[in-house]
Structure 1
Amino acid sequence: MKKLFSSSNYHSRLRYILLLSLAVFASCSEVENTPEKVDKLRAIGVATDSPYYEPGMTVTLTFILATPVLEDISVAEVTLEDELQLALSNISLPTPDDKSELRLYTVTADATLPLAGDLDFATFDGTANIAYALIFSQGAEEERVRGSIKIYPAGGSPTNVSGLPSIEITSPSENSTIGGGTVDLVASLDEKGSDENFRISWFVADGVIEKNRSIETEWEEMSAGTKTIIATARGLTSGTFAYDVIEATIE
């Protein structure tokens, strides 16, 4: 592992940056096979405390995970071989938030970004990227969460990113009771003035979501009872992240 900066060649670094631009985090679980179902420990996303960063700034990351199992989880740092990696500090103990079907965990971690002289800013967009990674364990299950921080030169903040987004599930409404069959899932995204594309994701404990990446979709084949529904949004340029959680009863 190379903390703060790496001497790897340009092509390796470019390939790494392009891969990270496609996803804020990569999970060891089979996310793409069953993208909406939380049937084991799953990473939901990583939230930042600022829409963009400059050299020398302090970063606070909030890792969000969900699990159907009411057991404690542990967290540890991960070494990324031959990659530009940021050292995390003040890693908090996992904080649980129990819902009817799922337990959500949040973990925070801090880091201080290197100064401009220690960074290699890319010529194609003028930014630098530094990776971070943590691994979470619950019994035999492990979930590796990996992402990156995009750093802009001092005074060179992005023109298309102006704030941290928020997302709200508007259908079904919180604590509502609805009939079974097909359930409409609708969310409202507040981009806070940012001019970038966002990736929407839905998470549930069971059933099938027709279009998991759509802000309006349908949910079918779920069991009856009080259900936990999660919607997330991630900026594809900035990596900003937001999520909302509600509960509704299916008859």
Structure 2
Amino acid sequence: MTAQANYTSSDFHRIRHMYRSSTGITLGHHTKDLVYNRMSQRVQGTSAQNFSQYLDRLVVDSKNEWGAFTSALGSSPCCFFRDAAHFAMLKEYLQVLRTPGALLWSCAAGTGEAYSMAMTAHDALGGDVRSMKILATDIDLSALAVAEDGVYPADRLRHLPQQYKEKYLVRLACREEAYQVVPEIRRMVSFLPCNLAAQELVLKGKYDAIFCKEVFDHFDPATQQGLVGRMAGMLKPGGLLFMGETEPGLGGDQRFEHRGEKVFSLKPHFLGGAPQG
């Protein structure tokens, strides 16, 4: 067992610096104990004698351990239908749009958000989703792995509407109660690791709707502004940007119109995120 006595303030500040350099996310000073709880398992799992030795190894180690490092510090809960009002707005938007080939993006998908979007889209379009694509990205590789499998214990589904649970999940024949998302819904979603603070996002296409929730408040103001610009450049005119309840919003940003509930639409005359003459 790694004793907390071997976890120093210097270790914590090194972890904060390395995590920020890797992800762009700043860990608050109040997270010192949380960081210890999450990272101690990595230290033990690599047989390092202490945090300092683990971090020294991490500097020269392969990208595999970097992925485990960022995943350990990530916070990607299984959030099916987090903020029901947003999914009601997405459903209404897709019903008006009536585009089977719509393109949607879940920026910080965790393990449940992209499937929540897929179920909503399937319901909104009466199953006519033959060419719809949903991109699910996250910096947390372990969350993406869980989502790709699409298997969840019953206690992770408590916010899933009952009619969706009955229609879009199947009970698995195993000792503990567990369910898997049906293939038709899983096929709608593609998963890709993504660092939203990277200089370039290797993503293609223009999106009809982007869920970028509980993301902005992890970044400093300059990174937030850059990210908003990227989102604007990747939305179709009239496309929707969904943000988290605790995030600052886009008040005063002339590229967007506020639609309520921390949802914003790109104004048609701001094609590509920049004013058009």
The higher relative CO (CA closer than 8 Å, separation ≥ 6) is in 1
Is the shorter-chain TM-score for this pair beyond 0.5, marking a shared fold? no
Per the normalisation by structure 2, the TM-score is 0.22
Greater per-residue helix proportion: 2
Per the normalisation by structure 1, the TM-score is 0.23
Greater per-residue strand proportion: 1
